Structure 1
């Protein structure tokens, strides 16, 4: 059977047949798990099939199927569930994996708030339940809607099913008029075992684990099935709310308990990192006896006013973090080291491993970071792993922390083969043969081939069509690879000229390609047309400029407003001097490295010509400004200088931007207001020379209504 043959020994015909078999088996498993709530294989078996599928696709990329399991996450949402938009986003949490991470979390908060190291700062700690997040909306004390997390903004309406869970009250006495309660649906170990016993007795299929059982049960189209499942619910937070529950996190949790919700009895109040770590160790030791699955401990600032001041990053709150339990570990043999070339030319080493199960997942690949990591050198010049290098043939320790890419932690020198040789990192690009250089201070070696490097060109195109960029339906990574290989698409502009370049026969050519049909071909061209109109920030991110990520792209777009103004500013800043360069550097969050990369990309003749060819086919929407109706500083450019006494500089900038102001780092003729605290120096003098309005902190707070 092909499945018994190692990937390296498969013929092309065997590989094609194997991919078809794997696609069918994994599609059946996905439908059984996500839709029917009845897994047909174990997690380990499922992951082994997926890993084999990826390995075959890596060796035979031309055989990758249109319905490849590697491009599919879960199954299609159940048609019976309506989508519902959350009034407030359901965000994820940042992760901590060590005591040092927890100490840094505390220090970061203190820096942001301007608190000294010895100032009192209370936290709550609670077990992180391994279940399914759920938001419950109550209006006038009655449950009106229940929704899954979904993508954080839009979830599935599972109200009928949630009503069957005994821990979820139908009505609340004394609750605010509007109250969204956030929590976790889970299944206890005891209930899980009993449910599986009943399933077995009835001749039905059993569930893989409590989390999957809980998630599948909540998503049943028939609420009667959900009602028969032993689901439970822990409340731990809230979303939209018409009146505060309390002035502290702990007080709010107590209020939720008083309203009738089940809250976790291990939630504790802690007075700093040491107390948090002590509680973490206590929960970790009790983990096996809790009767339900947890995968860490969540820490939150207790004072809700401080939570409000700290606010949110793009996807996570600043005031909370999840301290995950130690990474799962396993030992296996390193069979090869491959080099992958990214869109910025970075040469990334990847460990190819003898398959090993780590934390329930079959791992075949792991990151090796860079050439220093392989050699046992630290970025600071010291050593890691006590200087032990990593060689092909070594017995290596693999670990997974949370959901991150597997890594190699250590090497067992006692098992090192006699013929194992030190790994020599390539100095030329494996894809185009160009020199691969490592600039001073950079941990990564990069191919200098640029646009002539096929690997970089393909990776840039993949980034261009990725979800956070243009997100063109039907044009994913595998289609990009195929179109590039056949010469259909070599740069982003080619996507929007594809039909014109190939004329009326383009649709015929496309629909006759393997994996395409007339409907999918027509859908692709329609999807391309839909994306001719694109927001400024998404376009900038899609260009894949080094150091310019999604959040920075949005920030830059908001500061310049329109694509035309931005390109004119970049042209003026090409000498990296003068007012436009200072304006770019003045954007809070844009440093010299990012600014240099941005200006170089926008002014290098070949790069700019490609960008201009692309934009010629687009309608670039001006950046959407925040809703600042009634804000006295909307659209104004402000600069803070000197010592602020009522808030930290970071907090002041965040508040100004939330009101629609542009925060700059230096004074220029574009500056509208300089907020000067004690110790203001040259900026205050320059503002006076330019006739810029200068006010103190008290006047600023009065102006924005925060005095």
Structure 2
């Protein structure tokens, strides 16, 4: 039994790390909760094998090193999960033994990333993640990009700390996944992981573009005002401008609470955000004090988890799509079913290995569910025609007819033809996207139009476009055509890493492109570098290095790079080009500068060898402050960090 418990602890810890810290879960929330519950039952039955390191006695997350650490004044614990109404009634029996007069509040359990919002004298000073419950990450800069979070409160209380859940609305998540799929990037698995990854971005502008939102669901601490109950605190937080838990309801007894849990379950598909359960809390604060808490869970609240909804349907077709890198992705087409509130009829099948594993064939009866209640996925086969073998992907590209080949490093089949129409259109879309060359106005429809009409057969052709080339097409008046070509022209000034990322080299994302540009400085140097030299970059693996070397050894790619250079596209790194004036320095920007935009100031810092950070810490060298500087200025003064104006900053950049 001890061995079984130890193995189960290792398994739960592994999946907790992938969920909380890597934002890349391998199993569903429901499956993880079941494993955790199983471990709890075994530990309770065998207390002789108790361990202080068990995942049942600690919160799953850890404070990562990406941001400065924040020590929570009030522990941000987690809730015990229950999976049946009988378990809710057992919870009620335990509560009533200590507090017979207890009443409850029931509210939806938002599936997102838990954060603390700390206000001093009515001003938001720190926004932080839960981390391990005691120490989290300072994400104040990114928190401020979420418009629904108030920066100041009407009541200027000495201190107010609220706990909330940052989430990604379903519509924002679907847009993100669509863009990731267009770029042949690994799509986010569910809104919770997308929200967590977005909130941990180094660049607040990326966070701001992800459409995050928040619901505040708890008052952690308050000074200068007395509140007696949870429902009263939610009403008060709402009066201060916080978006509080939707449809919270006071219930006189557990049966009323159970009925509300059922109603929330029926409304799951109506919400514009994802929920993974309902929370039942004792309402009065004095009752909560009498009940107390365990090392991990409060005894006055539980979270009811809904099982994932699954339905059977008929697989009518399997369609294949060719991506930017030539990857051929199969998609299941099935008879429409209503699942988690929406009608679905398609699900990605990933690759041939996935199809073989499930022995899928057209005409099978299949079981569908929504991963994270959002993305449809094939769970299993309910009935398989014994006369049929598993579906096999085509041998030739459905777009250009080229012989498909299997990627030696991945379970992916690719079209090797770089001139394949499907790949070219996807490449144009990726090249123009925000993370790459960031050409405003070059969306999916425009890229498709340019290719279809023969105006852009490669990304180099974009830089040959003239306004009059576009004006004959519907929707392109002179002003719009001139605006688009001006945006294309401006992109010539972009940094080398943006060009590298935009070229769509296999296995090279934004971070890798920056490492490559910083190491070799020019496109010519990268083209001349050996695979061994590239693999010596800290953070590069053998597969990444091979992908870069193979890309630049291809004659078509060499010709494309020559064309881009001849057309005036920048092929040198702008980081540090002004010298090393700011080498080893970290700047934090706050407020509105008189003449410079944030991006312009950041570019000057980068060109002079420095770097920027979104939060103030002891490692900050200077805080560059403009008008209406907020909590970052306050924190800089508290830590004794030098604060400089724009004029002082520009003088420093010019002095050398």
TM-score of the two chains, using structure 1 as the length reference = 0.47
